Amino acid sequence: MREIRFREAVGEAMSEEMRRDPNVFLMGEEVAEYNGAYKVSKGMLDEFGPDRVIDTPIAELGFAGIGVGAAMNGLRPIVEFMTWNFAILAFDQIVNSAAKILSMSGGQVGCPIVFRGPTGAAGQLAQQHSQTFEAWMANVPGLKVISVSDPYDAKGLLKSAIRDDDPICFFESEVVYSDMGVVPAEEYLIPIGQAKVKREGTDVTIVSYNKMMKVAFAAAEELAKEGISAEVIDLRTIRPLDYKTIVESVKKTNRLVTLEEAWPFGSVSSEIAYEVQKYAFDYLDAPVTRITGADVSLAYTPTIVEAFMPNPAKVIKAVKEVLYVAQR
């Protein structure tokens, strides 16, 4: 199979869906003339023209509202935020309009729209540009939330998201846009709401998503050198969350470590821990342990960034702790 970059996988997904359905269009800051802030939409203006690849003003609330209105009237917009940090300005449209219109209209008006862009830290971008939003959006009934870690999942899930009739928040990462991955040339779709076991294991389950999957894999590799077999699950979809895959894995390994970049309070990990203790309590040989970002805003200083972020060493330490509790 061919290998392409993450940004190319996202661009292919959008282009293929725009060729398939004339109601699909892309809008956002610098998506057209500049080929995208991260070159995700490279070449799309030349192919589809300015009516379907639309540069917007620096006004997230405004162009998100235009997208929502277009979706309510039968189109299928893809709204790109240069970063989800800027999408805070558009939360009124995402939360109060897109997520609620189907319910408020008694099922008469839908909102098939995809809000997409990068989330989380990307080096020294300081406090207002380094936040992680999956748990924020997953807290809102009416929204579906997808967060991808590799090119294969990015393309397959974005195509499914564009075809879906519900509003979807689609999360990428600035630091993986250049990552290479195997992506079939032929069309494929990945169902929304299905996690994937990406590394089989027997001693402990590690659950993660987005770019923290790199940390999970790195930790699993080091643990394997010490004879510890870690099963690694990529959530891929945050809402609806695939509890079944997680629970079945915990029933096999009897231990769970969750890993995410977000702040700990009210996190995705918190939701997973609650569900696992409800459905797999008798299978747990140790308490569920979570690794998250620190419970502070992320400053600019590189030493603070290093201390804030999860890393393989923190995961390895957590795994050994749950193994120790189980064995003593």
pLDDT the model gives residue 83: 93
- Cα 306 to the center of its chain, rounded Å: 22
| Same domain membership, residue 275 and residue 216 | yes
Tally the domains of the chain.
2
Contact 21, 200 (CB under 8 A): no
Do the domain assignments include residue 187?
A: no
Contact partners, residue 311, CB within 8 Å, separation at least 6: 215
| Same domain membership, residue 205 and residue 129 | no
Active site (catalytic) residues: 60, 129
Closest to 312 in 3D by CA, of 207, 219, 185: 219
| Same domain membership, residue 15 and residue 152 | yes
Structural domain containing residue 224: 196-327
pLDDT the model gives residue 325: 65
Do the domain assignments include residue 20?
A: yes
CA dist 21 and 316 (Å) reads 46
| Same domain membership, residue 219 and residue 301 | yes
Instruction: Encode the chain (328 residues) as per-residue pLDDT tens digits.
Output: 899 999 999 999 999 999 999 999 999 999 999 999 999 999 999 999 999 999 999 999 999 999 999 999 999 999 999 999 999 999 999 999 999 999 999 999 999 999 999 998 777 676 778 799 999 999 999 999 999 999 999 999 999 999 999 999 999 999 999 999 999 999 999 999 999 999 999 999 999 999 999 999 999 999 999 999 999 999 999 999 999 999 999 999 999 999 999 999 999 999 999 999 999 999 999 999 999 998 888 877 888 888 888 999 999 999 999 998 656 5
Cβ-based neighbour number of residue 281 at 10 Å:
10
| Same domain membership, residue 145 and residue 204 | no
CA dist 237 and 231 (Å) reads 18
Specify the pTM: 0.95
pLDDT the model gives residue 327: 62
| Same domain membership, residue 136 and residue 45 | yes
Do the domain assignments include residue 191?
A: no
